[in-house]
C-alpha cells in the first residue's frame, strides 16, 4: 500500500514540475516531492531531515527561512553563508596568513605566499573543504619544516661546541705540562754553580735562561687560566643548547595534545592507531572503535554560551580519560566528537566500560556558574575483528553513531545489535 502511495507521489511530482515548466533537477525534485508527500500525509525521512535541521537553528533564522519559503537544505545554505560578515571572513584570512609567517624554512615561505594570495583574493574560499584541508597541510608542513631546520642548526652548534671543548681540554692539559717542565728547567739552571769553574760567560747565560724561563712560566700560566675561563663559557653555552633541545621536545609533546581537552588531537590519535593496527595484525589482538558525540551540543552553546560549552567538552574529556586504561587510546576527533580504541577479551568487559561512562554522564549534571546543565551523548561501536581494515571499522562506528542519534539519542549502539 505504501509503495503504491510513493509511486503516486512520484508521478504527481513529475506532473507538477512539468506543469510549472521546471526541469527536474535534484533540488527542484526534492522540494516538490516533499510538498506532495505532505499532501498525501506520508512521512518521508529525507523531508523530515530538513525540519530537524531547521529546528536546531536560532529562532530568527527559522523565521527568515519560513518567510522566504525555503524548503530544502540546498536553498538554506546560501542564506546561512550570507549571514557571515565579509569583514570577519577577511579578518580570518589575515589571521591565518599572519600566524603562518614568517617561517624559518625559506621554501615554506614561498609556498605560503602563493596560497595567501589565493585566499586573499577570495577570502570566502576558507569555507571550502579542499581549502581547509590545504590550510591544515600548511600548518603541519610548517611545523615539521621549522622543526627540521631548528634541529639541524642545533646539531651543528652542538658539534662545534664539542670540537671547541676538546680543543680547550687539549690546550689546558698541554699548557699545564708546559708549566711544570719550564719550572723544572728553571730549577736545574738555578742549581748550577758555574762560578766555581770561572766561567763568567756561562754565568750570564744562566741569568738569561732563568729570566726567560720565568717569562715563559708566567705566560703559560696566564694562557692556562684564560683557556679554563673559555671552557667555562663553552659549558654554559652547552647548557643553553641542552635547554633548547628540551624545550623543542616539550613543544613536540604539546603539539599532540588538544589545547582544550588535553586529549590526543585527531592527527596524534591516527598516529597511535598505526601502532595499534600493527599489533593487531601481528598478535591478533581484539579491540573496538567507539565514536562518541554529545547530544544537542549546539543548543548548549546557544543557550549558555561557548564558555559553558568548553567546560562541558573538557569535563567530558576528563571522564573519558579517567575511565580509559593506559593500554587504550582516546582522542578528540573534532568539535563535540570523541573517539576511543578499547581493547577487550570478552564482550562483557567492553559493555562494562561503555555502561560506566554512560552512568557517570546520565547520573550527573555539568555545573557552569549557577547553572546545572544536563547533557547526554550518543555512541557507535564497531569491532575491528569484523572488518578488513581499520578505516572500514571506524566508518562502521560512525554509521552506528548516526543511527543512535537518528533513533532518539542518549544511546550506545554496538554493531551486533546491542543497545545501551
**b/e sequence 362-392, b meaning 16+ C-beta within 10 Å:** eeeebebeeeeeebebbbbbbbbeebeebee
Dihedral sign from CA coordinates of 246, 251, 256, 257: positive
| 232 or 158: which leads in pLDDT | 232
Percent of the chain's residues with pLDDT above 70: 60
> How far is residue 194's CA from residue 254's CA, in Å, rounded to a whole number?
78
> How far is residue 273's CA from residue 266's CA, in Å, rounded to a whole number?
10
Q: Residue 290: is it exposed, middle or buried by C-beta count within 10 angstroms (0-12/13-18/19+)?
A: buried
For residue 66, CA distances in Å to 39, 75, 244 come to: 18, 12, 60
Sequence ranges of the domains in the chain: 2-82, 152-255, 266-414
Instruction: Render pLDDT for 146-182 as a digit per residue (tens, 0 to 9).
Output: 667 666 655 655 554 455 555 445 544 544 545 555 5
| Overall fold of domain 266-414 | Alpha-Beta Plaits (3.30.70)
State the pLDDT confidence band at 356, using cuts at 50, 70 and 90.
very high
Active site residues: 336
Instruction: Render pLDDT for 298-337 as a digit per residue (tens, 0 to 9).
Output: 999 999 999 999 999 999 999 999 999 999 999 999 889 9
> How far is residue 256's CA from residue 250's CA, in Å, rounded to a whole number?
10
The three-point CA angle 68-74-78 to 5° equals 65
Q: What is the reported pTM?
A: 0.46
Please tell me which of 101-105, 168-172, 226-230 the model is most confident about, judged by mean pLDDT. 226-230
pLDDT (0 to 100) of residue 347: 94
> How far is residue 188's CA from residue 181's CA, in Å, rounded to a whole number?
11
Among 383, 392, 418, smallest CA distance to 403 is for 418
Amino acid at each position: 500500500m505504501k509503495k503504491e502511495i510513493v509511486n503516486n507521489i512520484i508521478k504527481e511530482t513529475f506532473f507538477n514540475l512539468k506543469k510549472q515548466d521546471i526541469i527536474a533537477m535534484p533540488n527542484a525534485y526534492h522540494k516538490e516531492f516533499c510538498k506532495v508527500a505532505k499532501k498525501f500525509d506520508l512521512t518521508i525521512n529525507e523531508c523530515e531531515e530538513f525540519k530537524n535541521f531547521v529546528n536546531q537553528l536560532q529562532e530568527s533564522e527559522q523565521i527568515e527561512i519560513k518567510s522566504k519559503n525555503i524548503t530544502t537544505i540546498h536553498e538554506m545554505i546560501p542564506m546561512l553563508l550570507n549571514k557571515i560578515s565579509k569583514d570577519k571572513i577577511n579578518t580570518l584570512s589575515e589571521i591565518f596568513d599572519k600566524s603562518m609567517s614568517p617561517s624559518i624554512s625559506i621554501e615554506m615561505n614561498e609556498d605560503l605566499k602563493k596560497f595567501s594570495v589565493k585566499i586573499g583574493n577570495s577570502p570566502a574560499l576558507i569555507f571550502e573543504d579542499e581549502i581547509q584541508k590545504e590550510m591544515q597541510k600548511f600548518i603541519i608542513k610548517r611545523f615539521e619544516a621549522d622543526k627540521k631546520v631548528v634541529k639541524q642548526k642545533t646539531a651543528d652548534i652542538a658539534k662545534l661546541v664539542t670540537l671547541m671543548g676538546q680543543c680547550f681540554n687539549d690546550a689546558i692539559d698541554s699548557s699545564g705540562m708546559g708549566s711544570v717542565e719550564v719550572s723544572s728547567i728553571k730549577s736545574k739552571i738555578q742549581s748550577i754553580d758555574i762560578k766555581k769553574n770561572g766561567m763568567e760567560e756561562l754565568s750570564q747565560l744562566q741569568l738569561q735562561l732563568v729570566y726567560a724561563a720565568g717569562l715563559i712560566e708566567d705566560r703559560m700560566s696566564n694562557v692556562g687560566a684564560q683557556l679554563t675561563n673559555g671552557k667555562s663559557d663553552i659549558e654554559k653555552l652547552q647548557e643553553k643548547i641542552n635547554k633548547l633541545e628540551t624545550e623543542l621536545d616539550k613543544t613536540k609533546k604539546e603539539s599532540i595534545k588538544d589545547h582544550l581537552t588535553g586529549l590526543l588531537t585527531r592527527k596524534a590519535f591516527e598516529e597511535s592507531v598505526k601502532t595499534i593496527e600493527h599489533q593487531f595484525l601481528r598478535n591478533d589482538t581484539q579491540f573496538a572503535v567507539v565514536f562518541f558525540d554529545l547530544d544537542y551540543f549546539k543548543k548548549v552553546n546557544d543557550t549558555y554560551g561557548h564558555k559553558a560549552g568548553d567546560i562541558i567538552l573538557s569535563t567530558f574529556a576528563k571522564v573519558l580519560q579517567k575511565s580509559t586504561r593506559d593500554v587504550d587510546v582516546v582522542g578528540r576527533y573534532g568539535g563535540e566528537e570523541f573517539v576511543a580504541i578499547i581493547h577487550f577479551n570478552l564482550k562483557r568487559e567492553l559493555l562494562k566500560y561503555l555502561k560506566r561512562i554512560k552512568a557517570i554522564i546520565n547520573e550527573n549534571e555539568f555545573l557552569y556558574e549557577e547553572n546545572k546543565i544536563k547533557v547526554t551523548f550518543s555512541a557507535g561501536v564497531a569491532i575491528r575483528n569484523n572488518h578488513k581494515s581499520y578505516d572500514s571499522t571506524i566508518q562502521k562506528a560512525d554509521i552506528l553513531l548516526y543511527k543512535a542519534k537518528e533513533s532518539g539519542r542518549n544511546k550506545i549502539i554496538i554493531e551486533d545489535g546491542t543497545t545501551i
